[in-house]
Structure formats: C-alpha cells, structure tokens
Chain A
Amino acid sequence: MPLSVSIPSHSPISSDFLHQLETIVGASGLLSAREDLLVYECDGYTIEKNSPDVVVFPTSTAQVIQIVQLCQRYQIPFVPRGAGTSLAGGCLPVGGGVLIALTRMRRILEVNLRDRYAVVEPGLVNVHLTNHLKGSGFHYAPDPSSQGACTVGGNFATNSGGPHTLKYGVTVNHVLGAQVVLPDGSVVELGGPCEDSLGCDLTGLFVGNEGTFGICTQITVRLTRDPAAYRTMLAVFNSVRDATQAISEIIGAGIIPAALELMDQGIIEAVEAAFHFGFPLDAAAVLLIEVDGLEVAVDDEATQIRGLCERVGAREVRSANSPQERTLLWKCRKQAFGAIGRLSPSYCTQDGVVPRTRLPEILDFILETSQKHQIRIVNVFHAGDGNIHPILLFDERDTDQVSRVLAASDEILEKCIELGGSVTGEHGIGVEKISLMNRLFSEVDLAVMREVRDAINPSGLCSPSKMLPTAGGCGMEHVEKKTPGRRAAL
C-alpha cells in the first residue's frame, strides 16, 4: 500500500517505520510534511526549536502501546505532548523522532461524585473537566492560568500549579492514580479510586516526571467540593515592600487564603489598558486576595486580612461586590501575561521560588538587578507560595539587551537558590533549566534521580535530554542558549 504521507529528506526514519505508524493511527492520525511539523518544533518555551520527524495522534491506549513498541523496535526517540503550553521545553523533541500528541484522547471516562473522583484521558483540556462538573457541587482544583488550553495529561507530567494551589495544593495532591504506557511498551496501572495503594507511592513519583517515564493514557483525579462562599479583595499599596509585608503578616497570622497574588505597577498598567477594571494606575502594587469556605467563616477571615493589610499601610482594600466583578478580577490576573505585549515587543518570565518571608528580599534584588542591567522587570506572581514570576521586558532584535536579560535571569534564579528556594515552582525543568540542576542538587542527588529514570526508561528513548543533565556535563551540551524567548506564563 502506498504511503499517504511524505518522509522529510532529513529524517532518519525509514519509510517502513512510517508505514507501520500509519497502519496504527491511520493517515489522518499522522503528520510528517515539513510545513506541518513546524507547529510542533517547540512549546511555550521558544528559545530552542527542533522539529520532530513525525507527529502521531493516537486515540486509544492500544494505539499508544503499539507506537511505543514500534519506536523501541526501530530505536527511534519519542516524546509525549499535550497542548504544548509548557514553558520549559518539556515537549521539545530533542533529537527529533516521534512526537506523540495526545490531544485526541480527551474523553471524560467516569465521574463518581460519591467517591470523589473522575477518570479522564490525558488530552482533556483542564477547564473542560471543571466545566463538565459545573452544578454538581464539585470541581477539579488545580487551575493553571493556561487552564483554558493546557491538558490534564500535561498537568500530570509537569505537576502544574495555579493561583488556588496555595490552599488546595498542586496537581500531585489531586491525582489518585494513572494508567501509563511505560517506555518499553508495557502498561502499568498506578493507584486508582481507592485512596490507599499497596506498595510505595509510585503515583506520586510519576507526577512531574516531565514525560520521561512513559506516556500517561488515563488519569484518576480527586474531585473537590465547591466552596460555599468567596470573598475576593483587592488591596492597594504605595510600595511593593508594604505589599510583601502584608503577605508575610497574613501567612504569619495563620491565615491560608485560597489565593494571594501580587501585581506590581507595570502589570497594573498593562492589564488596566487591556481590561479596564479600574485598577489604580498610581499604585506601586496590588494584592488579589481570595478567601473561600463556609459563609459563616469567610467574613471573619476577610475582616482579619483587611485589618492586617491596613496595618502595614494599604491605602485601600476593595471587595469584589458581585460574581461578575470577581470573574473580571480573575480574568485580569490570569490573562496578565497576554497584556504584556502592550509594554514590550519581547519578554522573558522566570519561575523561581523563595520562602514566603524572603519575598521582600527577592523583590528588592529584582529591582536592583533591573537597574544594574538596565532591563525593565515587572512582577505578577503567586505571592502566598513565594513563587515569583519576574517578567523581563526587552527587544529580541537588540543582541545587547538579550545578553543582559540572560544575565539578569540567571542572577535572579541564583538569588532564589541562595535564599533557600528553587528555580522552578510550577513550570518544570524541561530543557530550559537543566543547567541549574547542578546548582540545586549534588552529584549524588542527580545520580540517584538518573538511576530512577534508568529503572523506568532504560533505553532513554522516551523524552531524551530532559530534566537531568548528563553525568559529568554542564547540562547544556545540546543547547546553545543565545536568545531568551517571548513566552506566555502562569
């Protein structure tokens, strides 16, 4: 039978291999023309690009098994991909090979409210699950800002966060089990609807594996009761330091809001221009604070928070007076990055984390770094978690600016490590931060992680060159980092 798809001239894959792939997924489930592959040469991290040799769109676990077994037989690397919203190059097909796009496996297989779980396919868009549950009294708690596009499988692979993870936890806290096609083509069922599993917590180990442990084909997620009531507030400050002091006071007082987000003046300016919410343009920073829970309890917490903010110098604390106003506030926050284009032709976002009480120090440092390198930096981030997202604004056509942005980014992340934090709170290591792994972890730490990976992915064909630096190398052998990309962010 003649092939209905073309083989790129540069490709190491054979026509026989391609033919067998087509037999598995059908002609409509495969792309191999160079122009079609361009879409898949990177994800939300655009600094590094490399086209896969072929993209396949399986529709069942059985097809994924056959694809993986075929790749093993021909020794072709393969990489899973959800919506491609990763910000760290987790979906980058380093070395080419087969990109397994899971977007056609997007069914909700089961919803069980009595037992508080749902079983979904990995390509399901995050918000589609919560939309499906509307009116049931339950929701799926992890809510990355990209939830309108990102997939539950991608969230599983990167252990995604989001604004409401402050109270509800990140993806791993909501995953009960998974079906995974391992890199050798066998299938393993990890965990499941029963809350306790036999043996050690392999489900937890697999969450955040960044696609290096195989292809997740089903996920059992925990469903969370909807809060009975919300109180959403906007606290306005004349200095960033006052705002971070308020964060410290709120957490220090033992209050865990559902969300606690900071936007500084640069971001306020951009989102106000985009959404016309009525943000005070002369404010140095605002805190978006949400408490949720029982109607009888939220007012007490809101009053306490209001008092703490005012005590450290908030000039105003507004409350969202209607569900519509709350929705608009959250729209401003979640789409803040979309508004950055109004400030600069290019931008670069970092994802460092510091202990919550060190936020004033890291924000002072970011300001110093901005001045030192003459690069404008604006901030919008998950303040309650200490998870910063400094956004470095620049013009990528100016090579001098580019090198200053790279230097500033490195210095900020180094400072996060120095303050006892991490280089990534929710975006992942991918290929972007491989070079920083040696600074966070010792050689022994990394050796043990490599051994764990080798136990599950001994051939190394599944998502090669991700997360862990090569033993003894600097970790960036395959990457010549020259240009910070223009990125979306959480």
Chain B
Amino acid sequence: MPRPNPEVCPESSAELVAWMTANHSGPKRSVRALGGGSSPVWNSNPAQTACLLGTSRLNRVVEYPARDMTITVEAGISMDQLQQVLAAEGQRLPLDVPHSDQATLGGVLATNTSGCRRYGLGTIRDSLIGVSACDAQGRLFKSGGRVVKNVAGYDLCKMLIGSEGSLAIITQATLKVLPRPHSAGVVWVPLAALGDSEAVLASLVTTQTRPVAVEVWNRTAVDECLPEVTNVVTGPEGFVCIAFEGGDREVRWQTTKLSEELRQLRIDCESRLRSEATETLWADLNSFQNHRLPPQFKLSVRPSRIVEVLVKGTRLGFSLATHAGSGIGWGKAAELVSPSDFADRLSEFRQFVENLQGHLRWLGGSAVEGNPPAGTPLPAGTELLLHKLKRQLDPDGILLPGCPAISSRTP
C-alpha cells in the first residue's frame, strides 16, 4: 500500500514538540498525523490539505522489562518491528493488525485497529497502560504509567484511542504484553446457506470450548482472498471459522470437542491443527482487511444480529468478512456497479444496520466518485461532548479539522 510522503518527520518527541509549538505560535497550519498510512480509517479522513506530520522516525524501544511483561516504545514503531522485539522474549501484543509491516503502533491506537482475535483477546484498549502525546499547542502530556494496574488521574489513554489524531499526536505508549501461545487450531464449517451460520454461532453460548476468533465470511469475500489464502475450507455461500490458540493439548482438545458439539447439532465441520507457523493462520483470517483493495466500510451490530446483516449485505452485492463473535463486519462492493447504484445499495444497507441498533462507517474506495456516501452519524450527545473536548484541547482547530471521530459533518 503506497504511503503518502510526510511534510514533517521529526526524529524525536522533542523535535515534534518544537515543531508543534512553533506551528501553534506561528502559522497555525492544520496538521494531520501520519503513521504507516495503511489504515482504511486513516485514508477515509478528510483534511487532505493539512500538513502531514509523520511519526515513523519515532521508532525506538524505550524500555522493555520483559519479566514485568510490559514494554514502552515510541509511537512510530511498526507493528512487525514491535512483535519481533517481543517474540525474542517469547511474548506478543495480542492484536491482529493488517499491513503490519507498515502500520505503526500510534496509528493502531489512533484508529483503534483490531482483527479476528478480538473475540477472545480484546482490543488495544485492553493492552494500553500508558501514553505520551503532544497536543496542538505543543504540550507534551502523559497519562497512565508503566505498571499494569494504575488508577491515578483520568485515563486519557482511552480518550486517545480511536481519536484519529484529532485531539493529540501520540508519541509514546506503554503496553502490557502476553506470552506467545504454542499452537493454534481451527474448526471450519462450510456454509451451504449463510443463514445456517446462526445455529453455529448460537451454540457457542454454551460450548465447553473458549474460542479466540469466530469468523463468518460470505462467498464473495472468500473468493476475493483465495489467491492469497489457500487453507480456507468454504461452502457455496461461505464459511464459519472458529479458532483457538494455547498449548498443544488444550488446542487439540478444543478442536475435537467443538467438532463433537457441532456434529451433535448435525453440523458438518472440519478441524485443523497448527503447531508451528501459527501466524499464517491468523494472516489468512485477517486477509480481507489486509487485502490490496481495502474494505470500503466497517459495521458493528450486536453479535446476535450479524447473520441477518450478512444475508442482507450479500443480497445487496457486497462481499463481507465478519468477526461474527464480536458483531464487527468489513465489506466492499463485490461487483462492478455504477456509483449511483452503489450509493443506493450502501444507503439501504446502512439503514438496515441502523434498524438493528448498529452503525456503519464509510471508509472510502474507488467504487464511488464525487460525494462519498454518509455513514452513521455520531449520537448527538456524544458529538456534543466530543466538540467540547476538542474546543478545550485544540481551541484553534489545528489537529485534523472535520475528523469523523469528532464530527459527523462532512467538511
């Protein structure tokens, strides 16, 4: 994925602070932070004319007390680099990130990126224990700390998650990390009809197993990714994939047990174990997000409504890959359609999702020209609150004006 060239690329927090301070007291240019530029969320942001401030040179490991299972790094470190450092100590950050060679930790925090294993392992909010950031006035502030349990002061770490660089530019973060598991395993359920997946998903409420990922993809999503992904077991309308990780024995026991549970429900399935190169399994399951043609929209509903969403979206011609256990879906147009037809279909789909008390966010893409379709607006109360925060922290509106994380209104 091509990365835009930043106009400013500081080598240290101090340099970043100095530039932001000078900008605030001088030209007050709009500023847009750039990590790896790989997130579709980042790419969907407006403010294309703002000065791009790259963080990729802030890529040092500040402190890694491995036996404390925490790490402090600068925000521009790439996710691959971070995971390599952790892997050397048998540890990992439990998070799936697309384009991880390019994606930076700061970008992951700012866009709240996650992948298939969020069902069992949570999201970045569950790992972040401390943060430093520079606001629009050039003030470097911190929140949290370097210990795994800490309730001193407001948790500004959380405020910055998903803020897309609109409140401050993250310069450093401290994370709690976990041991790397040895093995992974999956149970595939090929789908003759998408609606069949509901019985599988509902059975997980009482399963004796503890999956880390529960995926449902429609067939068009599978077909798009098949050239890169060869281990998928799919049916005519897609698949359900339930994945496990841990020690060899527990993964083996769980794949066997779940297969038994499903067969008792007369559901055909196929299990696979992986005791080495487990990362390729997770890469396969995140390949839709990782595809060279990025998703055009993201949606979120309660997990129990995801099958309805899949059926409706498929009927409207979208390819959909969902983290079904979490009610999260990624989608794009599955076929060549005219921009107006696409906009109509997306509008109908958005309405459907909203009727289920969910929301859909448009991320952009080449299928639509001219005015982008609108996503679900922020709830009015939330938007008002965010505006108040923005006015306090960035009264001059320097950081990413019109950011969708703060405002639903298209600039």
User: Which residues of A approach B to under 8 Å, CB–CB?
Assistant: 112-116, 137, 158-159, 161, 165, 169-170, 172-173, 182, 186-190, 192-205, 207-209, 225, 228, 248, 251-252, 254-256, 293-294, 296-297, 300, 353-357, 382, 385-387, 420-429, 433, 436-437, 440-442, 444-449, 451-456, 467-468
List 22 A-B residue pairs with CB atoms under 8 Å apart, sorted by A's residue number: A114-B202, A115-B302, A169-B122, A173-B125, A186-B384, A194-B302, A194-B357, A199-B382, A200-B159, A200-B386, A201-B125, A248-B67, A293-B210, A294-B209, A294-B254, A296-B249, A297-B249, A386-B149, A427-B151, A441-B142, A455-B388, A467-B154
Closest 10 pairs between A and B when the two form their complex, measured CB to CB: A204-B158, A254-B179, A188-B381, A200-B163, A196-B300, A425-B149, A455-B392, A252-B67, A297-B250, A455-B388
Q: How many Å lie between the Cα of A250 and that of B249 in the bound state?
A: 21
Select A207's contact among B155, B302, B381, beta carbons within 8 Å: B155
Q: Is the CB of B405 within 8 A of A448?
A: no
B148 contacts the other chain (CB 8 A): yes
Contact A440 B156 (CB under 8 A): no
Contact A172 B302 (CB under 8 A): no
CB–CB B154/A452 < 8 A: yes
Closest approach, in angstroms, between the C-beta of A430 and any C-beta of chain B?
10
Expressed in whole angstroms, the minimum distance between the Cβ of A228 and any Cβ of chain B is 6
Task: Give the shortest distance, in Å, between B207 (CB) and chain A (any CB).
Answer: 9
Cα–Cα, bound, A444→B146 (Å)? 19
Q: Within 8 Å CB of B67, what residues of A? A: 248, 251-252, 356-357
Q: Does B316 contact A (CB under 8 A)?
A: no
A203, A355, A441, A454: which has the most chain B beta carbons within 10 Å?
A355
Is A198 in contact with B250, judged by CB distance below 8 angstroms? no
A113 in contact with B250 (CB, 8 Å): no
Contact status of A467 and B153, CB under 8 A, knowing A193-B302, A256-B179:
yes
Within 8 A of A (CB), among B262-314: 298, 300-304
Most chain B Cβ neighbours within 10 Å, of A159, A161, A451? A451
Q: Which of B158, B209, B300, B379 contacts A172 (CB 8 A)?
A: B158
Shortest distance in angstroms between B209's beta carbon and chain A's nearest beta carbon?
8
Judging by beta carbons under 8 Å apart, are A114 and B65 in contact? no
B81 contacts the other chain (CB 8 A): no
B135 interface residue (CB < 8 Å to A): yes
User: Using a Cβ cutoff of 8 Å, how many contacts connect chains A and B?
Assistant: 263
Indicate whether B192 reaches chain A with its CB closer than 8 angstroms.
no
Contact mask for chain B residues 148-181; partner A; CB cutoff 8 A; 1 contact, 0 none = 1111111111111111101100000000001110
B149 touches A387 (CB 8 A): yes
**How far is B152's CA from A468's CA once the two chains are assembled, in angstroms?**
10
Chain B residues in 8 Å Cβ range of A447: 139, 141
Expressed in whole angstroms, the Cα–Cα distance for A436 and B145 within the complex equals 14
A209 touches B154 (CB 8 A): yes
Contact residues in A for B379 (Cβ distance below 8 Å)? 188-189, 198
Contacts of A355 in B (CB 8 A): 65, 68, 70, 146-147
* Known A248-B67, A452-B159: A426·B151 in contact at CB below 8 Å: yes
Given contacts A254-B179, A421-B147, A448-B141, contact A173 B392 (CB under 8 A): no
| Residue from B122, B246, B386, B391 in contact with A297 in the complex, judged by beta carbons closer than 8 Å | B246
B50 within 8 A of A: no
Most chain B CB inside 10 Å of its own CB: which residue of A194, A200, A441: A200
Contact B392 A198 (CB under 8 A): no
Q: Does B149 lie within 8 Å of A437, measured CB to CB?
A: no
Say whether B358 contacts A173, CB under 8 Å: no
**In the bound complex, how far is the Cα of B178 from the Cα of A255, in angstroms?**
9
Q: Are A294 and B304 in contact (CB under 8 A)?
A: no
CB neighbours (8 Å) of B361 from chain A are 198
Determine if B154 and A208 form an interchain contact, defined as CB atoms under 8 angstroms apart.
Answer: yes
| Complex-state Cα separation, A451 to B66, whole angstroms | 35
B149, A199: Cβ atoms closer than 8 Å: no
In Å, the complex CA distance between A195 and B159 comes to 16
Whose C-beta in chain B lies nearest to the C-beta of A187? B381
**Does the CB pair B406–A293 fall under 8 Å?**
no
CB-defined contacts of B392 to chain A, threshold 8 Å: 451-452, 454-455
- B212 at interface by CB-CB < 8 Å: no
Question: Interface extent on B, as a size class?
Answer: 35 or more
Judge whether A422 and B145 touch: CB under 8 Å: yes
Interface: B205 (CB within 8 A):
yes
Closest chain B residue, CB of each to CB of A427: B151
- On whether the beta carbons of A444 and B301 are closer than 8 Å, the reply is no
| Chain B residues near A193 (CB-CB < 8 A) | 302, 357
Contact indicator A256/B159 (Cβ below 8 Å): no
Residues from chain B with Cβ under 8 Å of A453 in the complex? 154
Q: Is the CB of B393 within 8 A of A452?
A: yes
Known: A196-B328, A354-B147. A201 touches B112 (CB 8 A): yes
Binding site for A on B (CB under 8 A): 65-70, 90-91, 112, 118, 122, 125-126, 135, 139-143, 145-164, 166-167, 178-180, 202, 205-206, 208-210, 246-247, 249-250, 253-254, 298, 300-304, 326-328, 357-359, 361, 376, 378-379, 381-386, 388-389, 391-393, 404-406
A362 to chain B minimum Cβ distance, whole angstroms, is 11
B152:A429 contact, CB within 8 angstroms = yes
Q: From B381, which residue of chain A is reached at the shortest CB distance?
A: A188
CA distance A197 to B146 in the complex (A): 27
Residue of B126, B135, B180, B303 touching A116 (CB-CB under 8 A): B303
Expressed in whole angstroms, the minimum distance between the Cβ of B97 and any Cβ of chain A is 15
Please name the residue on chain B nearest to A298 by beta carbon: B250
Q: Is B154's CB under 8 angstroms from A296's CB?
A: no
Task: Considering the complex, give the chain A residue whose CB is closest to the CB of B247.
Answer: A297
Considering residues A113, A202, A385, A428, which has the most beta carbons from chain B within 10 angstroms of its beta carbon? A202
Contacts of A203 in B (CB 8 A): 158
Given contacts A208-B155, A429-B152, A437-B153, contact A421 B145 (CB under 8 A): yes
Given contacts A189-B381, A294-B254, A296-B253, 19 further A-B contacts (CB under 8 A): A113-B205, A159-B151, A173-B125, A193-B302, A193-B357, A196-B300, A198-B382, A200-B161, A207-B155, A207-B158, A228-B208, A293-B210, A355-B65, A355-B68, A422-B145, A442-B141, A444-B139, A448-B135, A448-B156
Nearest opposing residue in chain A for B181, CB measure: A254
Closest Cβ of chain A to B169, distance in Å, is 13
* Interchain CA distance A382-B392 in the complex, whole Å: 38
Closest Cβ of chain A to B140, distance in Å, is 7
Docked complex Cα distance between A297 and B250 (Å)? 6
Contact A424 B250 (CB under 8 A): no
Q: Which residues of A sit under 8 angstroms from B389, Cβ to Cβ?
A: 452, 455-456
> Which residue on chain A has the smallest CB distance to residue B124?
A201
A425, closest chain B residue (CB): B149
Chain B residues, Cβ within 8 Å of A456? 385, 388-389
Q: Are A357 and B65 CB-contacts (below 8 A) given A116-B303, A188-B382, A194-B327?
A: yes
**In whole Å, how far is A205's beta carbon from the nearest beta carbon of chain B?**
4
Least CB distance, B73 to chain A, in whole angstroms: 16
Give the distance in Å from the alpha carbon of A296 to the alpha carbon of B180 in the complex: 19
Closest to B360 in A: A198
A208, chain B: closest CB distance, angstroms: 5
CA distance A343 to B345 in the complex (A): 72
Residues of A within 8 A of B208 (CB): 228, 294
Most buried by B among A195, A207, A255, A386: A195
Residue from A182, A422, A425, A454 having most chain B Cβ neighbours under 10 A: A422
Residues of A within 8 A of B210 (CB): 225, 293-294
Which residues of chain B are within 8 angstroms of A182 by Cβ–Cβ distance? 385
Shortest CB-to-CB span from A421 to chain B, Å, is: 5
Q: A208 to chain B: which residues have CB within 8 Å?
A: 151, 154-155
Closest to A161 in B: B149
Taking A205-B155, A448-B393 as contacts, is the C-beta distance between A356 and B405 under 8 angstroms? no
Least CB distance, A71 to chain B, in whole angstroms: 19
Contact A195 B154 (CB under 8 A): no
Distance A208 CA – B158 CA, assembled complex (angstroms):
11
Question: With A and B bound together, what is the CA distance between A65 and B91 in angstroms?
Answer: 48
Q: Return the chain B residue nearest A138 by Cβ.
A: B205
Shortest Cβ distance from A466 into chain B, in angstroms?
11
Chain A residues with CB under 8 A of B327? 115, 194-196
Contact A188 B148 (CB under 8 A): no
